[in-house]
Amino acid sequence: MADKDGMKIAKDYHIDKPFAKQGGFYVKGMSDVDWGMKARLANIFQPESGHTVMLAFDHGYFMGSTSGLERLDIVIPTLAEHIDVLMGTRGAIRTCIPASTGKAVALRVSCGSSILDEDLSHEIIGVSIEDAVRMNASCMAVQTFIGADGEKESLDNLCKTVDAGLKYGIPTMGVVAVGKQMERTSRFFKLATRILPELGAHIVKTYYCEDFEEITSACPVPIVVAGGKKLPEDEALTMCYKAISEGAAGVDMGRNIFQSTDPIAMVQAVRMVVHKNATDKEAYEFFLDTKKE
């Protein structure tokens, strides 16, 4: 292991230069993975735009019933036609989402804490690879806690999930959680979003932050951004627009969609930004024109 002393601060991100190793496959860093994994990644990242709209509704795995998700069976199917990926737990998907929905699944496979827990960073792998295959998962999502007590366990969970997924051609999405010793700054997100792909994650989910272009430039796999806490719709769309403009390959939004005053109008507005090159202002105008009074 290189010693930590004398480390020079990274600064040459070559932001103006596209990622070099594209090969024949459009998903960043994935030109050498197996055919089946490419097919699953193509279910996630739409070939026309190379981007994805994931609807995150896995909050219940540690928060229980969340505002806006009280009835998964009602809320999620009404939004499904406007998204590319269902990001949820096996329990939520099996019980509440029709198998005929025809959307890719980002399966939440890590778990182990509830909001009653002081420290959420000690998770386990809670879903077997056999059940991920059974669920027809297009990727598996593992929470990682860089800068928290459970850092090592979470990275072990990530590596074990990557290894299991490689056996069956199922990609792994490393989810960046904000550990106790972390702040929502580019310094910490740069660290986390580089460690995860170095350990084999095929997709990274993180949060938008300042210097985001440096983060996407330095990350050799596609990054999707979580929406985070509920914002006014215009601010959420601006965050989405900035993230895409600065190199994100999509979003994995939950609360900013299902807690919106009009979730269907909001998910369509997000889709305009992610897939149709719409600006945040154009998308917000669409939202205002479309939302139910």
β-pair type (203-206, 124-125): unpaired
CA 254, 259, 265 angle in degrees (round to 5)?
90
Tokens of 64: 């229980």
Going by C-alpha positions, the residue among 93, 108, 165 that lies closest to residue 142 is 108
Smallest gap from Cβ 85 to ligand 5RP, in A, equals 11
- Measured distance CA(282)–CA(267) in Å, rounded: 14
**Lookup result for tokens 């999509």:** 250
Report the nearest approach of ligand 5RP to the CB of residue 89 (Å).
Answer: 10
In 116-202, DSSP assigns E strands to 124-125, 139-144, 172-176
Candidates 10-18, 30-38, 181-189, 225-233: pick the segment binding ligand 5RP (CB under 6 A).
Answer: 225-233
**Among residues 37, 44, 86, 87, the one that binds ligand 5RP under rule CB under 6 A:** 87
The answer to the question of residue 59 lying near ligand 5RP (CB under 6 A) is: yes
> Is there binding between residue 227 and ligand 5RP (CB under 6 A)?
yes
Return the residue of 37, 125, 209, 226 that touches ligand 5RP, per CB under 6 A. 226
Q: Which of 147, 169, 200, 228 binds ligand 5RP (CB under 6 A)?
A: 228
Alpha carbon 24 to its chain's center:
24
Residues 147-186, mask of contacts with ligand 5RP (x by CB under 6 A) = ----------------------------x-----------
**Cβ 207 to ligand 5RP shortest distance, Å:** 8
Q: Does 254 participate in binding ligand 5RP (rule CB under 6 A)?
A: yes
- Give the integer Cα–Cα distance in Å for 279 and 269: 10
For the chain, counts of helices (H) and of strands (E): 12, 10
Query: Segment contacting ligand 5RP (CB under 6 A): 23-31, 51-59, 213-221, 239-247?
Result: 51-59
- Total binding residues for ligand 5RP by CB under 6 A? 13
Binder to ligand 5RP among 27, 37, 55, 56 (CB under 6 A)? 56
Torsion angles phi and psi, residue 158, rounded to 5 = -60, -50
Binding stretches for ligand 5RP (CB under 6 A)? 56, 58-59, 87, 175, 226-228, 252-256
